[in-house]
Amino acid sequence: MFNESLKNVRLSPIVAISEEVNKISTQTGKDFILFQRGEMGFSTPAYIVDAMFKALNEGHTKYPVSGGHIKLKNAIIQKLNDFNNVRNVVPEQIVVTHGGQEGLELVLKLFEGKKVVSFSPVWSVILENYVPFMNLNLCEIPFEDDFSVNYDLLEKELKDASLLYFNTPHNPTGKVFSEEEIKKIVALCEKYGVFILSDEAYERITFDDKKHFSPMQLDYEKILSVFTFSKTYAMTGWRLGYIVTKDKEIAKMLRLAEYTQTAGIPTFTQFAGAEAILNKSEEEKVIKEFMLEFDLRRKKLYEGLSSIEGVKMPVKPEGAFYIFPDFSEFVPSNLSKEDSRLYIHKKLIDAGVATVYGSCFGKYFQNFLRFSYSTTNIEQITEGVERIKKALSN
């Protein structure tokens, strides 16, 4: 009777893990070190909150402009120019959305039922929500052991694909694709006329002087980039993001879809978003503060996990706030596929450490775990590593 594809949409396993952990805590009083969610531990900076109240007091409480307010679009154009080196974008190429997630949904909707290629591991929300909801035929291209790209495999799968879902800085590996890699990937898409959905949610979270390179900088026409305020400005709950396309006709379609689904984004939220970008001195201050803390945590967690014998560490991640090590060494070989899938995750839950198991990110990285350090402070990281050490030595 109902849309069949909805039956296959699942609650994000990351949310399910959080619910499980909450339940255990409430029932037994057990405390957990929480490495599972990509939430921001910081509060939204005061200058952004103030801008929202100002907009409300000024009466920006009516139905919003379809596709986004010009004030925010102009701020976005400036940001694209200053931060992304993306020039000549006009307001008609931008659609303001309810967070990055609505941006992704609107773009993927254009490719309903089509073959979509993605590097693997792939962010769980794509797999659990969008693939079934949009009936996408998703083809995973596994990274090599060092998380580099297998171009032969990529080319083979792009030949009959409609879209490449591309994410840099990458969730869950923390990989930041280099300009050279991105140029090669875009060239292959161009060769076969494949569209690119470029998910740049973590564009401002890069370390060791590595800078985010947006595919939008390249000449190829068939690129749609999705950005969000969530991670850059600790605005996860505001649900503010945007799509930038090179093709104005596509932007019109997206705008219409956006408008009919949600009737647009509250204007006062958009004004706060504009202030987030345009108040350069405050912006610089808060991003610096977030990044200093993230870098300390990244180093501490990487060192800590590296000190556990048997954990196979990836190269040190250069972006986002995740580390994705391999725990294969600890998984007994006689277990069934289903039991081995959750083996390490369960062991760590018993020890009071919540992570996300590798199979949430596709079919190739079963024995890996994703650690997020976005909400754990240094003491919690130290304690978490100690608990893991103990659990794995038993």
Ligand X SMILES: Cc1ncc(COP(=O)(O)O)c(C=O)c1O
Interaction site with ligand X (CB under 6 A):
38, 99-101, 123, 167, 171, 199, 201, 228, 230, 236, 241
Nearest to 130 by CA among 14, 13, 38, 9: 9
Distance between CA atoms of 233 and 286, rounded to whole angstroms? 8
CA atoms of 59 and 256, how far apart (whole Å): 25
Q: At 357, phi and psi to the nearest 5? A: -75, 150
The b/e string for 174-207 (b: 16+ C-beta within 10 A; e otherwise) is bbbbeeebbbbbbebbbeeebbbbbbbbbbbbbb
User: Shortest approach of ligand X to residue 358 CB, angstroms?
Assistant: 16
- CB nearer to ligand X: pick between 236 and 355: 236
Residue 212: name the closest of 179, 247, 171 by CA.
179
Place of tokens 């504009």: 274
Q: How far apart are the C-alpha atoms of 245 and 224, rounded to whole Å?
A: 5
Cβ proximity to ligand X, 106 vs 351, nearer residue: 106
Q: CB of residue 326 vs ligand X: minimum separation in angstroms?
A: 21
Least distance between ligand X and beta carbon 140 (Å): 15
Phi and psi of 56, rounded to 5°? Answer: -65, -45
Which CB sits closer to ligand X, 235 or 391? 235
In the bound state with ligand X, the residue whose beta carbon lies nearer, of 212 and 391, is 212
Quote the least distance from Cβ 199 to ligand X, whole Å. 5
In angstroms, give the least distance from the CB of 13 to ligand X: 13
User: Which residue number, 38 or 384, has a Cβ lying nearer to ligand X?
Assistant: 38
The residue among 166 and 195 lying less far from ligand X, judged by its C-beta, is 166
**Between 129 and 351, CB nearer to ligand X:** 129
The terminus-to-terminus CA distance of the chain in angstroms comes to: 51
The DSSP result for 342-374, as a single string, is HHHHHHHHHTTEE-EEGGGG-SS-TTBEEEE-S
What amino acid is encoded at 135 in this protein? Answer: N
